[in-house]
Amino acid sequence: MPAGGVKSLGGAKITLLPGDTQNKVELGNSEASRLIDQGAVAIIGPFSSLVAFSVRQVTEKNRTPFLLLAAVADNLTEGGLKYTFRMQPNGKAMATLTVSNMFEMAKNANVPIKRVAMMHEEGNFGTTMGNHVEAFAKTMGYELVQRIPYNLRSPDSHLGAVQGEGVEAGPPDRERLLRRLQAHRGDGGQAQDRRQRPRGTRQRRLLESAVHRRES
């Protein structure tokens, strides 16, 4: 029966060493260093683009391959790096796909979209995606009426801007966002929670507001 392992390395076995960055830059650096000190020959991850941007300095210094499987910010592979490799589409490709999919969904559902709003986290990932979505949306003929960045560790950090537009601070975040989006629809209607909307196609429900969310 075959012994398994990496044939070109004489049947060497692959051992997975776990590490948890907790979405923190400092911890990501220390975890990468710890894993390398324990004999890791490659680092896979992390999920956060902000953490990955810092960890790549550790892996470059130690000449350890760094495989990006989730973090998508474009600048993660910039700067003449020799040991950092991306295994999935970058931010520009994913943002373009997001807007293209929204366009196709609107077309198939026969729901014309002219104005959109976007909500994203304010870190490396969200800002990168947000910039690409904003730029590509314009080429598709969409008017971006709102761009709302927020802090992952303080989801309510955007409330100051919301309250500045006269939106009360009492309702849950979902209702605040719906109210804010509704104010730019120009139809004079009241924002509705999804549970209160009349039944319709799934695509129509998804296209009530174009809010981009993601990682990282």
Three-state DSSP string of 13-27: CCCCCCCCCCCCHHH
Q: Average of pLDDT values for 114-132?
A: 87
Same domain, 77 and 95: no
Return the top range by mean pLDDT from 41-45, 146-150, 152-156, 162-166. 41-45
**Reported pTM:** 0.61
Residue 212 lies in a domain: no
Residue 70 lies in a domain: yes
Residue 10 — very low, low, confident or very high, per pLDDT cuts 50/70/90?
A: confident
What is residue 63's three-state secondary structure? coil
Q: Where a domain ends, among 67, 86, 105?
A: 86
Same domain, 144 and 115: yes
Q: Average of pLDDT values for 20-48?
A: 94
Whether pLDDT at 164 is above 50: no
Same domain, 128 and 148: yes
Two tokens, residue 73: 């910010």
Whether pLDDT at 45 is above 60: yes
Same domain, 39 and 53: yes
**In contact, 36 and 56? CB cutoff 8 Å:** no
Whether pLDDT at 200 is above 50: no
**In contact, 75 and 83? CB cutoff 8 Å:** no
Q: According to the model, what pLDDT value does residue 182 have?
A: 57
Q: Can you give the residue range of the structural domain that contains 69?
A: 9-86
> How much of the chain is in helix, strand and coil states, percent to nearest 5?
45, 10, 45
Here the CATH number for the domain that contains residue 111 is 3.40.50
Two tokens, residue 184: 């730019």
Number of H helices, E strands in the chain: 7, 5
Whether pLDDT at 33 is above 90: yes
Residue among 11, 59, 66 at smallest CA distance from 33 = 59
Task: Report the alpha-carbon distance of residue 154 to residue 132 in Å, rounded.
Answer: 24
Here the CATH number for the domain that contains residue 51 is 3.40.50.2300
Q: Where a domain ends, among 20, 52, 86?
A: 86
Same domain, 121 and 177: yes
Residue 115 lies in a domain: yes
Cβ burial, residue 114 (10 Å; 0-12/13-18/19+): exposed
Same domain, 62 and 109: no
Task: Report the alpha-carbon distance of residue 94 to residue 102 in Å, rounded.
Answer: 12
Return the top range by mean pLDDT from 22-26, 28-32, 100-104. 28-32
Q: Average of pLDDT values for 161-166?
A: 45
Same domain, 81 and 120: no
pLDDT by residue (tens digit) across 61-93? 999 999 999 888 889 999 999 999 998 889 899
The angle subtended at Cα 110 by Cα 104 and Cα 116, nearest 5°, is 65
Q: Around Cβ 56, how many Cβ atoms within 10 Å?
A: 22
Same domain, 69 and 144: no
